[in-house]
Amino acid sequence: CSDAAIEDDTSAVQKKNTIHDATYACLWLGCNRTFPSLSALSLHLCSHSGEKLFICEHPGCYLQFTKKSWLREHALSHADERIFICDYPDCTRAFNRRSALVIHKRTHTGERAYKCDYADCGVAFADPTALIKHKRIHTGEKPYNCTYAGCGKSFIQSSDLKVHKRVHMTEKPYKCMFPSCTAKFKNSKDLTIHNRIHTGEKPYKCAYQGCEKSFVSSTNRGKHMKVHANPKRGVYKSTKAS
C-alpha cells in the first residue's frame, strides 16, 4: 500500500469523523441547543416557529403536533381501551394514555411539580397544560378568538371559547334533572347555580361581621355586600370581618 494511498485513506477517515462529530446549532435568539443531525434541528425549530408537521388523521380531530411522539401519545386518546390503571387503593380510574395516568396519580400524592415562575405568584399545578393556561393570566395572551361577526372576544382556553359561542346560539345542552323542572342552560356553571335552588345550598357567605346571609352564587353575594358599603365614600364600613 503506497504512502499516497495511506494519506488518502487517513484523509477519508478524518472527513468521516468530521461529519460524524458535526453538530447543528439552533440560531434562534436565546437558544443554545445543538443537534447531531439536520433533521433533528429542523424538528426542534418547529418548537420556536409553532409549525406543527404531524397531523392527527382521526375523523373530525385534525389536531397538529410539533413532535411525532406527541402525535402517537395523542392517538391513544381516540382508543377505547384503557390499559393504564391507577393502582392506588380504592381507586378504579383507568386511562388510555400513560401521561394521563401520571397526572391523575398526583391527585393522590398532592404533588404539584409545575410552578409558575412569575414574581410573587407561586401557584403550582399537577398538570403542565394547566400551568400554560395559567401563565396567560400574567401575559394577557388570549389565543382563542370568537369568529362570530362583530364579536371580537378572545379567551385563554378553548373550553371558555366553546362556552362563549353558545351566547350566539340558542343551544342549551345543560338540563336540570330535578323532577318537574324544565330549566335548561348554555353552560354547566349556570346549571350548578340553578340546582342550588332545589337543594337549598348557599355556599357563598357574607364576609361582614354579624351578617349571616349566604347566597347561591358569588355574583349575588357581591351585590348584597354593597348594602354594607358607605354610599357616600364607596368604602366598606369598619365592621368588616378580619
Q: Where are the domains of the chain?
A: 22-78, 144-198, 202-242
The count of residues in the chain is: 242
Its CATH architecture, for the domain 22-78, is 2-Layer Sandwich (3.30)
Domains 22-78 and 144-198 alike in fold: yes
Residue 49's pLDDT band (cuts 50, 70, 90): low
Closest CA to 168 of 191, 152, 157: 152
In the chain, % of residues over pLDDT 70: 76
Tell me which H or E stretch contains 85.
strand 84-85
Secondary structure class of 201 (helix, strand, coil): coil
Q: Residue holding cell 462529530?
A: 21
Q: Give the model's pLDDT for residue 200.
A: 92
| Predicted confidence (pLDDT) at residue 123 exceeds the cutoff of 50 | yes
Q: Give the model's pLDDT for residue 151.
A: 86
Its CATH architecture, for the domain 144-198, is 2-Layer Sandwich (3.30)
Across 189-200, average pLDDT: 91
Burial 143-179 (b: 16+ CB within 10 A, else e): ebebeeeeeeeebbbeebbeebbeeeeeeeebebeee
| Predicted confidence (pLDDT) at residue 62 exceeds the cutoff of 80 | no
What is the phi-psi region of residue 15: left when phi exceeds 0, alpha when psi lies from -120 to 50, beta otherwise?
alpha
Q: Give the model's pLDDT for residue 195.
A: 92
Q: Is the pTM of this model over 0.85?
A: no
Dihedral sign, CA of 77, 78, 80, 81? negative
* CATH code of domain 202-242: 3.30.160
Tell me which H or E stretch contains 65.
strand 64-65
Residue 237's pLDDT band (cuts 50, 70, 90): very low
Across 72-93, average pLDDT: 78
Residue 11's pLDDT band (cuts 50, 70, 90): very low
For residue 2 the three cell numbers come to: 503506497
Secondary structure class of 44 (helix, strand, coil): helix
* 54 neighbors 60 (Cβ within 8 angstroms): no
Give the tens place of pLDDT for each residue, 13-36. Answer: 333 344 445 578 877 777 788 878
| Predicted confidence (pLDDT) at residue 138 exceeds the cutoff of 60 | yes
114 vs 111: CA distance, rounded Å: 9
Across 169-195, average pLDDT: 86
Q: What is the largest CA-CA distance in the chain?
A: 105
Closest CA to 42 of 62, 28, 30: 28
